[in-house]
A and B are shown apart, each in its own frame.
Chain A
């Protein structure tokens, strides 16, 4: 197992290099550069040229890439063109907000869809299955931004239960762990509900089909013949079998965990990676973009590796070479 993990990690090095090179090249294909994003008559062409030179943008692209790579290998991801802030610091400032939202929403989605999928699949075409199906399709059809705004309107403005937006109130930011945690959770509640409701629908359908498929298999019939209770059959025997696709989903969701959701972050003014990434794209902030890409790539690689290792535990028939 250790050998397998080491082998996969060694393979990650050239993979990461290729990814950074391709990303760097693709970024250069987009029109404009950071000095040309403002249309301001008070800026002279000479100032812009000087700034290009200061930022090293006047050099050939391969030279820029090699310089960036050299810096990165020394653990320096450079400075943002837009803020002059170290890239790593910019990313680390935003990462907690994104991780809190993504990890908790992923956890809720996995748990809820697991139970809803089994509940719905076991009552195929029954009343509750139809109710869940209708809500699933509604959830898929409603746009996230609309749902988010409606939740703010109802829970924040009408009921006055929760804050409209933001990460934490400035007034409690220094009040100690629990007040800060509660305040942060009150801010996270609505974005969390929006994400969960939006994703629940699709995955519940996915799991429902998995359960229906498993329930038709011989080993379930055998379990029923042995007189096992329906709950035991559903949650232990069928549940274990639909766990495999969930593990796959978890592995693939890791990049989303740090990528953040731009729409959710934008609506709820949630200071996460999604907003940072989109702002960097629009302002052609290459160092921030490359930093984000490196972090995402690393997590994709680690996520896929973790998923493969977990497969082995979820289904012992899968050997490490096959994984």
Chain B
């Protein structure tokens, strides 16, 4: 009996090992594999595979491969035609006319037409739809009107000029013939999507993977990959081990691990700028921070290059203003007011602001008390917590005490969203993810405080005017000028200490080819061109 049991156990173990052996260490050396499957980690369970409902990154990654918008963003962050082969804009910037492709079919073979476009945007505007995209299509309380001029021409009439509108035309188009009589919030379509994109949805095993297969009838460049398996591996360490084993072809790599993995034979490491900036924001309604000299002093006290080197291991850049150096709207370098690391100047500014230096205790004081404030940030971001500790030390060196309060996300958001004036924090540490359009009205306009995302109570009438002008200007040249002026003005006011622009670091298996140039759109922005070799 015991012997039998031992033999059965050994056989089972051997079978299990055979199951896995030989499935890994994919090192490509040959030609394009037409049956090739790309395996990438999306890190989390998607919520809705529906372009008008999704708001999380994993969902967006899948949606980008299954659906098309009227326009799309290419690897250079430019808006280029997709389902619309061209568009025109009226002289007053209010009427956009999109001319649709006639050779597009949904994955079930049904032809795509203007009625699908009208359906998609009417669903977004329908208050019963649980979407957060509605405000993208409402300008000063008035909705954008969409109408079909013929089966392949759609017109959008805006209540007033609104330059960021075109970016929203990248929204994936839904099939009206399937969804016309369904509850968009709960329909099974949200888990079994059907679009016009280069890949067809095949299967979603909840918490495990999403599987897509090639769309042989795709109207654009025919996809080279036969399948894409989007694995859901939430733990970054496990994902890294899976990359090293060759089980997955792509995942993010934390900066701290890059050095150890640089020479791995199986994959290459790429790094590129992202559209994100990290900042330390001051509550401008607090007396201490209402004086710009105190804010400037803090900016001069922080050694940003040391943060980039120490925490980001060099995978990032020092930030100076609320835009990204890779954005077309980034102003010329010589126009930017920079706050270089200069502790002596910092102390000088604090003295000018009326704070008293206590030489015995080596600290600044105000009304006999030490100058002190509390900075809040969210839990779960180890990088940010390390940066906070470095800033605490830099400020202690010039004589300011900064306390750090790390909060659970929902409590943190509650403090920030609380619509009371003044808000209940001294300073915050956070990052903003920028869109490809430079519009930043929701973050900097006076009217966005205290209800809105102007979290710190910033107000500058000149900036308010420029924010509006930026939205209404119709040519890119004039917008570039407006935003250059806007961003430099905000930087000069120093409402935030703009800390750094982090880079994205990814490891990609060497068998994966056809990648785009490293950039914020990712290296698989043109997924139909990506392939794997045998």
Contact = CB atoms under 8 A, between A and B. Distances in A.
Nearest to A85: B191
B130 A51 contact: yes
Interface in B18-64: 19-21, 23-25, 37, 45, 47-48, 53, 55
Contacts of A83: 47-48, 190-191
Contact of A37 (B23, B53, B409): B409
B347 interface: no
Interface string B171-205: 00000000000000111001100000000000101
B207 A271 contact: yes
Contacts of A164: 238, 241-242, 245, 247
Given A38-B132, A164-B241, A168-B208, A173 B234 contact: no
A271 B208 contact: yes
B19 A84 contact: no
A182 B413 CA distance: 45
Interface in B92-137: 127-128, 130-136
A299 to B, nearest CB: 20
B21 to A, nearest CB: 6
Given A31-B414, A84-B185, A160-B25, A269 B233 contact: yes
A55 interface: yes
B21 A161 contact: yes
B244 interface: yes
Contacts of B344: none
Contacts of A152: 238, 241
B452 interface: yes
Contacts of B270: none
Interface in A281-321: 282, 284
Contact of A42 (B21, B132, B234, B414): B132
Contacts of B432: 41
B309 to A, nearest CB: 28
Given A41-B453, A54-B128, A170 B209 contact: yes
A41 B132 contact: no
B319 interface: no
B130 A162 contact: no
6 contacts: A83-B190, A97-B207, A164-B245, A165-B247, A266-B234, A268-B238
Interface of A: 30-32, 36-48, 50-51, 54-55, 79, 82-86, 90, 93-94, 97, 149, 152-153, 156-157, 160-171, 173, 182-183, 185-186, 189, 266-272, 275-276, 279, 282, 284
Interface of B: 12, 15-17, 19-21, 23-25, 37, 45, 47-48, 53, 55, 127-128, 130-136, 185-187, 190-191, 203, 205-209, 211, 229, 231-235, 237-238, 241-242, 244-245, 247, 409-411, 413-414, 416-417, 430, 432, 435, 440, 442-443, 451-453
